[in-house]
Amino acid sequence: MIIRKPFKFLIEHFKIINVVLMLLVSFVIFKFFNIMQFFGNFVTNSYTTSEVDLAAHYIGILLPIALIVIILINIIIFILFRSKDKDTKAYMVSTIFFIVLLVFSFVYRGVLENFEFNTIESQTALLYRDTAKFTFYPNFLFLIFYFLNFIGFDLSTFEFTNLRDDIDIAKEDDAEIEIGVQLEDYKIKRGFFKKLREMKYYILENKLVFMGIGGTILLILLIFIISTIVKLNNNVRVDKAFTYSNFAIKVENSYLTKVDYGGNALSDKYHYLVLVLSVTNKSKTPKALDTDNFWLQIGNTYIYPILDKSTYFKDLGEPYYKDKVEVGKTHKYILCYSILDSEISNRYTIKILDTVKYVNGIGTPTYKTLKVSPKENDKINNNGTYSLGEEFILSKSTLKNTSVYVNDYSINDTYTYEYNYCNKNNECVLKKNAVSNNSNTKKTLMVLSSDVTLDTSANYSMYGQNDFYNNFVTFEYVYNDKTYTSSVTDKSASNDISNSKVLEVDYNMKYASSINMIITVRNQRYVISLL
């Protein structure tokens, strides 16, 4: 086979070649800047992202091609300079560095291809973020180096030179080379050992450079090992986000309870494990979360979440009924599981069906595993007794900074209120209407002059809940020396200009010797002494 040496061409077009290298390196800088920015944003956004098609967007096919071209050009220039006894260290370092970048581009491609379907631990994400910085910033040094070559500035002499003047173009630089395949065995061995000795001396002369190269290789191996561990070990830290079926999910909290949002017992033989999940749709279309793949494992038994029970925990998050999640939107959803009292534990395992791989028609499932240690919050905590006219904050409850103020009350079978009636011409007159107990002899009306200001950041109010009195209020009263508890039904008129609260309560409260208004928010209790 006959080939022609490229040295003459390289020497004559050295400036143009450096312009090409500058353009290629600029493109590499642009791509690795985007990669660095992606991992930085990923960490900043609590290890979640709403982007899709990550590998195609950040890596693509052009980045590896650009790196390969840079590497080949540097290798050829290295060989040329060495044959002309020119300093080759810069091109050797450049070649090694861009080989490292090429390796990293394939590492990043593998990571990003599996990003939407596999978990990335926080420590691994931080490592990728830091290595992305390492692969980005040194590019500017090589960009400057190629620019100096373009303008003819020699860093070794700090003078402007012309490569064509500095290197004589000999006839052999453009000569044809015949490559033969029939070589004597002893010549091959002699040449091999000669090259081996030369390489040894070269390494010893440049040991610092090669130590840096060795450290880089070890770093790359470490990244591969960590990536492999992440893929093989699907145990997910509950305090960190993970990816499942184009959803970014994070377990915000977990609870073990027998009571609802108002502290009412739900069952005499079951507890409920409640998961509060932050769920973000990363896909391009609205999509429902397949909660049937979220199994609670107790021994050899798998328990599915009970969606219709999640309404009892609406103070902890948003009940989920398999609604489609909007693209890019984040919701704090509730998943709950019923557990027999005999199965109570300090730690539970949630198995999430991730993928099913089929080989010869046999499916092998893979799972993500959550280990949760739920909080038990059934014990009622008393937060003091307040008087009429005294405002207080439900700060220890799930209602956060919701404030409550009761100024006065009255008990009657009928309540008359005023409201504004407006005609089509927006002419309004004051009218009256009445609320009664509908002749129910067992009930009467409690009329409160009160004000409740819900904290809009509390889950209860965030998800459109505004039924405070029905959900959280009862009355405790003493009648004939016995203590009773009355539930309430809010019968307030929305157009009552006085904004009074009208509650249907037990009839005997009319004759009670003591009345306390009880506000119970899950396990937090507040008392207002009315009488």
- Residue among 474, 276, 294, 476 nearest 377 (CA): 276
The answer on 143 and 71 residing in a single domain is: yes
Q: Which of 373, 349, 345, 340 is nearest to 271 (CA)?
A: 340
DSSP one-letter code for 400: T
Q: What are the CA-CA distances from residue 349 to residues 36, 229, 258 (Å)?
A: 35, 20, 19
Q: Which of 170, 200, 233 marks a domain boundary?
A: 233
Domain range enclosing 243? 236-376
Percent residues over pLDDT 70 in the chain: 73
Same domain for 325 and 228: no
CA distance 504 to 225: 67
**pLDDT per residue over 435-472, tens digit each?**
887 777 788 999 998 888 888 888 888 775 678 888 89
330-359 pLDDT per residue, tens: 888 888 988 888 888 888 888 888 777 666
204 and 327 belong to one structural domain: no
For the segment 471-490, the average pLDDT, to the nearest whole number, is 91
299 and 176 in a common domain: no
pLDDT number for residue 517 = 92
Residues 339 and 417 in one domain: no
Helix, strand, coil % in the chain, rounded to nearest 5: 35, 35, 30
Domain shared by 294 and 350, yes or no? yes
Instruction: Decide which of 131 and 364 is more confident.
Output: 131
**Confidence at residue 92, expressed as pLDDT on a 0 to 100 scale:** 81
Among 146-150, 415-419, 521-525, whose mean pLDDT is lowest?
Answer: 146-150
Q: How far, in Å, CA of 462 to CA of 515, rounded?
A: 32
Half-sphere exposure of 274 (CA within 13 A, CB side): 32
**How many distinct structural domains can be found in the chain?**
3
Burial 393-422 (b: 16+ CB within 10 A, else e): bbeebbbbebebbbeebebebebebeeeee
What Rg, from alpha-carbon coordinates, does the chain have? 37
pLDDT at 99 over 90: no
Examine the pLDDT at 171 and tell me if it is beyond 70.
no
301 and 244: one domain?
yes
- Evaluate if pTM is beyond 0.85: no
287's tokens = 């999509």
Determine the Cα–Cα distance for residues 251 and 237; give it in Å rounded to an integer: 9
pLDDT reported for residue 314: 86
C-alpha to C-alpha distance for 93 and 55, rounded to whole angstroms: 28
Write down the pLDDT at residue 233.
Answer: 45
* Residues forming a β-bridge with 319: 334
Residues 324 and 246 in one domain: yes
pLDDT of residue 515: 92
Per-residue H/E/C for 41-98: HHHHCCCCCCCCCHHHHHCCCHHHHHHHHHHHHHHHHHHHHHHCCCCCHHHHHHHHHH
Which of 183, 212, 233 represents a domain boundary (last residue)? 233
Q: Judge if 190 and 90 occupy the same domain.
A: yes
Report d(CA 400, CA 393) in Å as an integer.
Answer: 8
More confident residue, 24 or 441: 24
Higher pLDDT, 19 or 47: 19
Beta bridge partners of 279: 249, 331
Domain boundary among 193, 217, 233: 233
Indicate the pLDDT class of residue 20, thresholds 50, 70 and 90: confident
Using one digit for the tens of pLDDT, what is the confidence trace for 282-308? 878 888 888 888 888 888 888 888 888
Please provide the DSSP assignment of 156-211 as one string. Answer: TTTEE--HHHHS---GGGG-EEEPPS---HHHHHHHHHHHHHHHHHHHHHTHHHHH
499 C-beta neighbours (distance < 10 Å), count: 12
pLDDT, one tens digit per residue, over 55-98 is: 778 888 888 888 888 888 888 777 777 766 676 677 788 888 88
- Kindly state whether residues 314 and 385 are assigned to the same domain: no
- CA atoms of 402 and 412, how far apart (whole Å): 29
Same domain, 415 and 359: no
How would you classify residue 125: left for phi > 0, otherwise alpha for psi between -120 and 50, otherwise beta?
alpha
Question: What is the largest distance, in Å, between two alpha-carbon atoms of the chain?
Answer: 122
pLDDT at residue 178 greater than cutoff 60: no
Q: What is the DSSP string of 349-384?
A: EEEEEEEEEEETTEEEEEEEEEEE-PEE--S-EEEE
Query: Lowest-pLDDT range, 36-40, 213-217, 267-271, 387-391?
Result: 213-217
Domain check: are 13 and 26 in the same one?
Answer: yes
Nearest Cα residue to 389 out of 402, 405, 404, 409: 405
Confidence of residue 179 (pLDDT cuts 50, 70, 90): very low
Q: Is 257 a residue whose pLDDT tops 80?
A: yes
Residues 489 and 499: their CA atoms lie apart, in Å, by: 16
Whole-angstrom distance, CA of residue 454 vs CA of residue 314: 14
Q: Which residues pair with 154 in a beta bridge?
A: 159
**Is the distance from CB of 406 to CB of 449 less than 8 angstroms?**
yes
Greater pLDDT, 338 or 378:
338
Kind and range of the H or E run holding 255 = strand 247-257
pLDDT for res 209 = 58
Instruction: Give the three-state DSSP class for 505.
Output: strand
Question: Mean pLDDT in the chain?
Answer: 78
Q: How far apart are CA 243 and CA 117, in angstroms?
A: 6
Q: What was the pLDDT predicted at 531?
A: 84
